[in-house]
Amino acid sequence: MTQPNRLDNGGRIDRSKHLTFEFNGRRYKGFSGDTLASALLANGVDVIGRSFKYSRPRGIVAAGAEEPNAVFQLGATEATQVPNVRATQQELFNGLVSQPTSGWPNLQFDFLGVFGSILGRMLPPGFYYKTFMFPQAAWETYEKYIRKAAGLGRSPRDPDVDTYDHLNQHTDVLIVGAGPAGLSAALSAARSGARVILADEQAEMGGALLDSRETLNGKPASNWVRDALKELSGYDNVLLLPRATVNGYHDHNFLTIHERRTDHLGDRAPANQSRQRLHRVRAKWVILATGAHERPLVYGNNDLPGCMLASAVSTYINRYAVAPGRRLVLMTTNDNAYRAAFDWQDAGREVVAIVDTRAYADGAWQDEANRRGIKLLKGHAVIDAQGKMRVTGAVVAGLNTDGTQLTGKGEVLNCDTLASSGGWSPAVHLSCHTGSRPVWDDDVIGFVPGKTVQKQLTAGAVTGCFSLADCLADGARIGAEAATNAGFNAEPAAAPSVRCRPETRPMALFCVPHYKPNSRAPKQFVDFQTDVTAAGIELATREGFESIEHVKRYTAMGFGTDQGKLGNINGMAVAAKSLNQSIPETGTTIFRPNYTPVTFGAIAGRHCNDLFEPKRYSAMHEWHVEHGALFEEVGQWKRPWYFPKPNESMQQALDRECLATRNSVGILDASTLGKIDIQGKDAREFIGRIYTNAWAKLAVGKCRYGLMCKEDGMVFDDGVTSCLAEDHFLMTTTTGGAAGVLEWLEFYHQTEWPELEVYMNTVTDHWATMTIAGPNARKLLSELTDDIDLDRDNFKFMDWRQGTVAGVPARVFRISFTGELSYEINVQANYGLHVWEKLFEHGAKYDLTPYGTETMHILRAEKGFIIAGQDTDGSVHPYDLGMSWAVKEDKPFSFIGKRGMKREDCVRDNRKQLVGLKTKDPSIVLPEGAQAVDNPNHPKPVPMLGHVTSSYYSANLGRSIAMGVIKNGHKRMGETVHYPLVDGRVVEAEICSTIFLDPKGERQNV
Amino acid sequence: MSEAINKAVLESTQIAIMEQLPETGVPARSPLAHQQQTASRTAPENPGVYLWESALKTHLALRGDANNADFANGVEAATGLALPEVLQSNHNNEWALSWIAPDEWLLTGPGDQALAMEMSLREQLGGHYAVINVGGGQTLVRLAGPRARSVLMKSCPYDVHDRNFPVGKVVNTVLGKSQATLRRVGDDEWELVVRRSFADYIWRWLVDASQEYRLSLEQPTQGASKNRAGRLQASPVEN
């Protein structure tokens, strides 16, 4: 297997390391140091994809991030599939497997290729919008085939086998780009002692210096790069990040860097190493030294394989020792691109002609071309590329001085490679991310970064400064400035000497005219990835799209994964010309993050799988797991949901747990309930202002239930608060509301009542809480404590006592969420598991039954106890709940929500009120959320009365029970409402009290 | 312990003070005991990161006003430690006192001293203040080794560079998707205060983040302390 385009000498590849790789099912060879693109070019692979809309054959155009065509699917296995990889940025490794993402069913012959002209007519600009519009339903059908043919790659079907992570970085100076300006800036900043991060998207740092023909201090530029990097890597305060694309520039100098750590090593990352890393950087100052992208010229059939950027030709020759053809025609508007022809000739290949669009070009570069004997056609342009699967010729014609018209007849030059350069567009992308609009500069013939509000500096080609000497000096100066701004004493590093060759002024030319109008000329592509032509942009302007943002959206220009890095400026120029205005008048679209595509893995980092979300555990969690609990997520807590026995259905388990609790004794892990320790001489007053009910007289040793409202009078949390001592209270909250309630208390204390002497602290995790409930609860507890008097008259319902339970100091609260005789035992959490296990040792004879949240819900619903957040939803006040007993209207200071619940809307008739519901058929359990209506046969829309908030089957009652809100429900006791269900059934239910069991509360007062 | 309780304090206080530790023989189970049990005991060669739980310590939250001399002096009298400034900590052989918030500090120390220290504080402090025993609700995790800082960089957004985070500094920060109080206790050693319920998540996060640096779940030997609390049945790697 030979590599026909590989040069015998030169390049920065390691010829001793042979690599084998696969593309499109065929095996090829390359060298270490190759990119996938350079290796394909070395192997003479011309067609690497088919175009998006017209299915035209496409080849490699560029050598960097701006490549629009060579976007591949990588991966040797299903789990390692990566779509959207630019071959120009993918380093070659042994065993690399790649596929074209376009060209269905195959590259050489494809469906769209044959029927392309028909489809092309069916896919005019604005095609997406037009298919969206009509007929709407057809889009789903179009989409499937369009996507397949268009080639956007595919996601893997198997889980990713690699890991990805994040690293948070902080730095004084972040320098983006390690070309001449970036390296110089880094030297200046690093020597000052500032913390510096230098990030570059390429494997090797040095940027344009790596393929430069110029010398620094009389030596090859790469020597200077080597020395600079050696110095920088010796500093503790410098972090060099190669293979790291700064892909997003966000507010407050927060930048994200996508580092590809192992993508160059193989299909999978080595063990214990993350494949890619997202650096999240806070930089005091940022230097954008992002360089510039060469702009191709737009001409007929400019998308044929063999049409390339002039600078890419130089890069492939000098860096990779690949001459991507035999016979070159170069078209240029500037002197800089001449080096492509010189490199080509030095590589021993034939330069057919340099076609310079400038009649006035007459300087050192033209002299050298003449000296080299290269045919130089000044005042000419290539108007059309010839060939089917690869360039075979270039049609060249004379061009008038302002580049608007052709002069004379065309001539065909035989060639297989057609390089073009329309000048350089500064890579302003990152500067745009923060909202700064780039500004047109006539001298640069391009947009340069606009005014910024960030602590951002720019250096080198991104500013439109294209000469190497200027870039080096600019970088050194800006590097010192950034470090100085960050508080260091910095001096600009001395710039190396460069022998400069003067350049003749470039010409502003974007789209080469044709004999025919653009609409009839051979297709002149502006955006290769989305197949947007000059004619398409003109059509858009004719159809009335005058704003460049509209033109972009109508034609899809710049919508590809390359964000139009190559084509956007040309497209704007075409639009401007068509609209008969200047480019600055036309304006530009701007770029968003990310600069190049980022894998989802890098975005997710380690926030995936088991670490996706914190799981909170109580001190008894291990016991629950061992005893077969199924878990419910409540907030981030994993709470036991129910404890099924083998072969038990969920309902059977719930029935068993419910009956055991009501008939003997059950136990619940209630540790997750929020617990807030409140201390201070004003604690009581503070609590009285937070809750709706009265707290002034709650004695030490007593507990009380309370409702909390927001200012609007709507219930948002509830719980029992106990008076531990005169200035000391323990508040409990719902599990999910714990953090919110503590913030609420702090908020009111800090902003409204700072004069109250009170401190609140969470003790949720400090206490393990176990609730034993049921007629045998007292008997069980008495076996484990000898210092608490459990006598019914000495330790009453809503009392708490301190003592020892199972040898552990405990606070025991006689409160009940089940309506049973019930004790909540609180011990320091490190002893929770011990006490829990002791309870089971002694509880066996009482059939002590663990129950989870579901049984807890059923038992509390049997008693009509609400759950804040389930039976309330932010639109329910205490009176709606029938809980006027929990509102103390005449407290001296008022309380939060008092005024809110007096608003006109809150006191009107016909509010939704919480009621109990009994279905006529006791076996039917209403679905929660079902809507009540009075008359299911009412013509639509049927007036709705309110929804079911809680609904269960109660084994204790042998029937279903439910709670729900019904308009005016409190006055409709005994009436029947109807619940039409999704399945067509209509369930009848009777409105009743929410207390289904033991209405007098006798069971808990025993 | 009961004789240590100053009767005068108990009688005058309007706060419920409670001995929360059992007398004897009752096993304590720290928030990370299950992880310590299941962890592999074969330490890698030349570990880059050490991770262990410093379990069953006393944790007292102190609330008060640093400008109240009765509070600030009282804390110093009871603990021997001056109230640390913002984002700072002070420590002696037994106790560490960390700034947590403008009106909050965290005192950590020997596990059997919670009540004695609370009593001592209440004896010394004056004015509006609060002491809250939170030892069951949080634990200490130690992270050490040459790559400990890298693990922290993966885990929290705060700048842990030497220039910004010298030894002795304390911050409350995000850790993974949870949070921790982070104190730098040595050049290569950090202490994290984590909540009990989040401890397992944070432990697993740190183990995962340490994967590439050769993680040892043993305390490095040179830093070992013999200060084992007598009455507590500590997990095997507790210092």
Tens of pLDDT along A921-956?
A: 999 999 999 999 999 999 999 999 999 999 999 999
Residues A279/A201, Cβ–Cβ less than 8 Å: no
Class of domain A669-859: alpha beta
Nearest CB to B56: which of A166, A759, A830?
Answer: A830
Residue A97 CA: distances (Å) to CA of A73, A269, A433, A726, B89: 9, 15, 34, 75, 55
Q: Tokens 């044959």 correspond to what residue?
A: A114
Q: How confident is the model at residue B231 (pLDDT cuts 50, 70, 90)?
A: very low
Q: What is the pLDDT of residue B8?
A: 67
Chain A, residues 380-409, CB within 8 A of chain B, namely none
Residue A721, phi then psi, degrees to nearest 5:
-120, 140
Q: What is the pLDDT of residue A51?
A: 86
pLDDT digit string (tens) for A488-546?
999 999 999 998 889 999 999 999 999 999 889 999 999 999 899 999 999 999 999 98
Chain B, residues 106-125, CB within 8 A of chain A, namely none
State both tokens at A336: 């800089």
A143 at B interface, C-beta within 8 A: no
Q: What is the pLDDT of residue B230?
A: 31
DSSP A35: B
Q: Tokens 């630019």 correspond to what residue?
A: A86
Q: How confident is the model at residue A559 (pLDDT cuts 50, 70, 90)?
A: confident
- Architecture of the domain whose range is A509-586: Orthogonal Bundle (1.10)
Q: Where are the domains of chain A?
A: 1-158, 164-292+426-485, 509-586, 669-859, 860-893+908-992
- Please give the full DSSP string across B124-135, using - where no structure is assigned: H--SS-EEEE-T
Q: What is the pLDDT of residue A139?
A: 61
**Residue B206 is inside which H or E element, if any?**
helix B196-210
Mean predicted confidence (pLDDT) in A614-633: 98
Within A22-138, residue ranges assigned H as helices are 36-42, 111-122, 127-133
pLDDT digit string (tens) for A718-735?
999 999 999 999 999 999
Angle made by CA atoms A78, A79, A80, in degrees to the nearest 5: 95
B20 at A interface, C-beta within 8 A: yes
A374: CB partners within 8 A, 6+ apart: A341, A345, A351, A353, A354
Minimum distance, in Å, between the CA of residue B132 and any CA atom of chain A: 8
Sort strands A376-378 and A350-356 into parallel, antiparallel or unpaired: parallel
A404 vs A145, which has greater pLDDT? A404
Q: What is the pLDDT of residue A149?
A: 53
- Architecture of the domain whose range is A1-158: Roll (3.10)
Mean predicted confidence (pLDDT) in B38-44: 70
Chain A, residues 765-784, CB within 8 A of chain B, namely 765-768
Of all residues in chain A, the percent with pLDDT exceeding 90 is 90
Task: Show residues of chain B in contact with A726, CB under 8 Å.
Answer: 14
Indicate the average pLDDT of chain A. 94
Q: What is the pLDDT of residue B224?
A: 37
Bridge partners of residue B143, in order along the sequence: B51, B190
pLDDT digit string (tens) for A180-225?
999 999 999 999 999 999 999 999 999 999 998 889 999 999 999 9
CATH for A164-292+426-485, options being 2.40.30.10, 3.40.640.10, 2.60.40.1930, 3.50.50.60: 3.50.50.60
| A771 SS3 class | strand
* Mutation choice for B interface testing from A634, A766, A784, A800 by most B CBs within 10 A: A766
| B156 SS3 class | coil
Per DSSP, which regions of A1-63 are E strands?
Answer: 14-23, 26-32, 49-50, 57-58
Spatial separation of the C-alpha atoms in residues A281 and A173, rounded to whole Å: 10
Residue A769, phi then psi, degrees to nearest 5:
-120, 125
Nearest residue in chain A measured CA to CA from B205: A611
Mean predicted confidence (pLDDT) in A307-328: 98
Of all residues in chain A, the percent with pLDDT exceeding 70 is 95
Taking the alpha carbons of A8, A9, A15, A20 in that order, is the dihedral positive or negative?
negative
Number of Cβ pairs < 8 A linking chain A and chain B: 158
Q: What is the pLDDT of residue A101?
A: 84
Q: What is the pLDDT of residue A145?
A: 60
Predicted TM-score of the model (pTM): 0.93
Which domains, from first to last, does chain B contain?
A: 31-55+137-220 (3.30.1360.120), 58-134 (3.30.70.1520)
Residues in chain B: 239
pLDDT digit string (tens) for A102-117?
755 456 555 455 555 5
Mean predicted confidence (pLDDT) in B77-94: 97
Q: What is the pLDDT of residue A560?
A: 86
Residues in chain A: 1006
pLDDT surpasses 60 at B3: no
Residues A421/A332, Cβ–Cβ less than 8 Å: yes
Contact A611 B204 (CB under 8 A): yes
Peptide bond into A941 cis (omega under 30): yes
Chain B, residues 166-225, CB within 8 A of chain A, namely 176-178, 195-198, 200-202, 204-205, 208-209, 211-212
Residues A430/A423, Cβ–Cβ less than 8 Å: no
CATH for A860-893+908-992, options being 2.40.30.110, 3.90.1010.10, 2.60.40.1290, 3.40.50.2000: 2.40.30.110
A838 at B interface, C-beta within 8 A: no
Q: How confident is the model at residue A621 (pLDDT cuts 50, 70, 90)?
A: very high
Q: How confident is the model at residue A52 (pLDDT cuts 50, 70, 90)?
A: confident
Minimum distance, in Å, between the CA of residue A758 and any CA atom of chain B: 8
State both tokens at B225: 């302390």
Sort strands A666-669 and A637-642 into parallel, antiparallel or unpaired: unpaired
Contact B136 A170 (CB under 8 A): no
Mean predicted confidence (pLDDT) in B131-157: 98
Peptide bond into A105 cis (omega under 30): yes
Q: What is the pLDDT of residue A125?
A: 62
- Please give the full DSSP string across A363-383, using - where no structure is assigned: SHHHHHHHHTT--EEETEEEE
pLDDT surpasses 80 at B127: yes
Nearest residue in chain B measured CA to CA from A279: B154
